Amino acid sequence: MIDMRLSEHINRLFDMVIEDYHIRNDVNCEYVNPFDDRTFDHLLYHKNRIDTVQWHLEDIIRNPSIDPVEALAIKRRIDALNQERTDMVEYIDAYFLDKYSNVIVRPDAVINTETPAWAIDRLSILALKIYHMRVETNREDVDEAHRATCIERLNTLLTQREDLSDAIERLLEDIAAGRKYIKLYKQMKMYNDPSLNPILYSKK
What residues does 110 pair with on adjacent strands?
180
What is the reported pLDDT for 2? Answer: 40
171 CB-near residues (< 8 Å, 6+ apart): 112, 116, 119, 180
Q: Is this structure's pTM higher than 0.95? A: no
Instruction: Quote the pLDDT of residue 190.
Output: 65
How high is the pLDDT of residue 1? Answer: 41
Q: What's the pLDDT score for residue 4?
A: 74
Q: What is the mean pLDDT, run by run of 10 residues, along the chain of 204 residues?
A: 79 98 97 96 98 98 97 96 95 96 97 96 98 97 96 98 98 98 77 67 66
Closest listed residue to residue 12, CA positions, set 23, 25, 1: 1
Give the span between the Cα atoms of 204 and 194, in whole angstroms. 9
Report pLDDT for 202: 73
